[in-house]
Structure formats: C-alpha cells, structure tokens
Amino acid sequence: MSDHCLPVGRVLRASTASFTIGTKTLAAEVPRFGGFVKACVGEACDVIGLIYDVLLEDDLFARQLIGAEVNAEYIADQRQNRQVPIEVSVLVVGYAANDRLYQYLPPQPPITLDEIMTCNDDEIIRFTADFTFFRTVLDAREARPDELLAAALRVAAAARGAQSREFLVRAGRELSRLLAFDAARLEGLLRRIKP
C-alpha cells in the first residue's frame, strides 16, 4: 500500500473533462494506465482523474540513434533528458472540495503548469467507496472506457489489500446494474477485473 503521493508532471493543456500532463521521464511508479492522479485547483479543490493514455513522441535525436550502434550511456541519457516531453492524458472523474468528494466534473480544470501528483491509497479508497464515477468512465469517448475502468478497479482493489475481493464483488454488482442490457460488454469487463 502506498501512503505517499508521487509527482507525475505538469499540466500542458486542460478542459473540464480531461487534461494532458507533460513529464520528462517514465518513473517506475508513474504514470500507469488506470492510475489515480490529482491536480490542485485553487485553494480548496483537487481535481481527480484517471490516466488513460501515455504518448511518447519521437524527437530528432532519437531518430538519429535508430539503426546506429549506441551504448547504454547514450540511451540512458536520452531517456533521462528528453527534449520532447512524454504526454500523459487524464480523464477527469471527480474532485474534492471542503473535505467532500464529488464524482462529477469540477467547476474548473487545472491550469497550465499545475503540478499533478498520484493519489495515495487512502485517497483512492475514499474516492472509490462510491461508484458514481463508473458512468463517467463508461461514457468516455476519448479513452478506451472498458479497459480504463477495469485498470482503475484493479488499482483501487490493490489499495485495499485484504479487502480487495470484497471491493471487486461490489464493483461487479454495480457494473451488472449499469450494463444489464449489454451482456457482452459486461462479461468483458467482469473478466478484466477478476482477481
């Protein structure tokens, strides 16, 4: 279980429904598909989102190295000192304000260069105690919604440790209610979250 937050990167562009983060390197812990992140917006509001895409655009230096004999030092340096940032896309699923959690879109998005942090296990457990955000993820057009929700549920289950199975059973019941008329989609999601 993780009790601390790790920096992910800084906001490049944002809307109320999603935002993109720029980061220089891919740390071992972040960013991860389906990971919960937060951005501080104003004095008393944290926007909460799920990582749904990581894009590594090429840069001219990397193109020059392809096909050449390159030693490990050059590769490590290029990975640590990228000229083109790695872009991480985040779907907004809620926000925290005045010690309350809301599982709908926030009143405003994060602003360019705001720092984005991972949510710790306690924050993930608290946010996922309610399943209202499922509909936001299932309706997301820009993300692969079923894969994203399954990954987020696996992250939330891992944060719960010994109570992970009970959590996944409750989540499965909610998915059964939401997708009662789409048996194929429901079956696919249940298979992805199976412990």
The 10s digit of each residue's pLDDT in 143-184 is: 999 999 999 999 999 999 999 999 999 999 999 999 999 999
Whether the CB-CB separation of 37 and 116 falls below 8 Å is answered with yes
Summarised one tens digit per residue, pLDDT across range 124-148 is: 999 999 999 999 999 998 899 999 9
pLDDT recorded at residue 28: 58
Going by the DSSP 8-state scheme, the letter that residue 194 receives in this structure is -
Mean pLDDT of the chain: 87
Distance CA 114, CA 98 (A): 20
pLDDT band at 186 (very low <50, low <70, confident <90, very high): very high
Give the pLDDT confidence score for residue 8 in this predicted structure: 83
Q: How confident is the model at residue 9 (pLDDT cuts 50, 70, 90)?
A: confident
The secondary structure element, H or E, covering residue 165 is helix 164-178
**Predicted TM-score (pTM) above 0.85:** yes
Q: Which tokens is 6 given?
A: 């790790």
Output the six-digit token pair for 73. 């030092």
Per-residue confidence (pLDDT) for residue 98, from 0 to 100: 86
Mean of pLDDT values over 46-50? 95
Q: What tokens does 181 get?
A: 């008329």
Q: Considering all CA atoms of the chain, what is the largest pairwise distance in Å, rounded to the nearest integer?
A: 56
pLDDT tier at 80 (50, 70, 90 boundaries)?
low
pLDDT of residue 7: 79
Distance CA(102)–CA(19), nearest Å, equals 18
In sequence order, what are the residues at sequence separation of 6 or more whose Cβ sits closer than 8 angstroms to the Cβ of residue 110?
11, 14, 19, 39, 40, 41, 47, 116
The DSSP 8-state label assigned to residue 85 in this structure reads P
What is the arithmetic mean of pLDDT over 61-70? Answer: 70
